[in-house]
Amino acid sequence: MQFTLDPDLPRALAPLAWLIGRWEGAGVVGYPTIESANFGQEIEVTHDGRPFLEWHSRTWLLDEAGTKVRPLATELGFWRPFEDGEVELLLTHPTGIVELYYGKAEPAKIELRTDGVLRSPQAKEYNAGTRLYGLVNSNLMWAMDMAAVGQPLQSHLSAELKRVG
């Protein structure tokens, strides 16, 4: 699908403009404390004319045939760009976790590390994360490393999504 730049896009959002749209695809989840599995994902990134992007991600477990089994994770948040390619990603999860990521945006690449994690008393232990997003051959590819439940920072998720809107 061809990407066209919105003429009303605030100048500050230019380094993140390639994220705007609706994306669908699949990935792999794994961690020492869980069984590895495939997941489906849909991400919608929008803007309303102000200098931030709105982020909504939904994932679901896939069986071996690629059929949806059940919902997995939901993320709601905002991308906030700053001078010199610096960027924040603020994420909330219905599991009682709020994350603040901070990092750098380069053309078609964003590298982030948690600057802060807030957990409710009922949330699972989650201490830190890193995320890498890239536009590769017109696809959104991303990976996440996580430190949680007594484990050090290590690979947790990765996916490849195609722009569908």
Distance CA 62, CA 52 (A): 32
Domain annotation for the chain: domains and CATH numbers: 11-164 (2.40.128.20)
| 19-23-25 Cα angle (round to 5) | 130
Residue 11: partners with Cβ closer than 8 Å, 6 or more residues away: none
Residue 74: partners with Cβ closer than 8 Å, 6 or more residues away: 56, 57, 58, 59, 93, 94
Summarize pLDDT for 78-124 with one digit per residue, the tens.
999 998 999 999 999 999 999 999 999 999 999 999 999 999 999 99
Flag whether 93 is marked binding.
no
| 59-120-154 Cα angle (round to 5) | 55
The per-residue pLDDT for 1 is 56
Summarize pLDDT for 35-60 with one digit per residue, the tens.
999 999 999 999 999 999 999 999 99
Alpha helices in 15-147 (DSSP H): none
Flag whether 33 is marked binding.
yes
- Say if pTM beats, i.e. exceeds, 0.75: yes
Flag whether 130 is marked binding.
no
> 83-112: b or e for each residue (b if 16 or more CB lie within 10 Å)?
eeeebbbbbebeeebebebbbebeeeebeb
For residue 105 the two structure tokens come to 């945006």
Summarize pLDDT for 131-148 with one digit per residue, the tens.
999 999 999 999 999 999
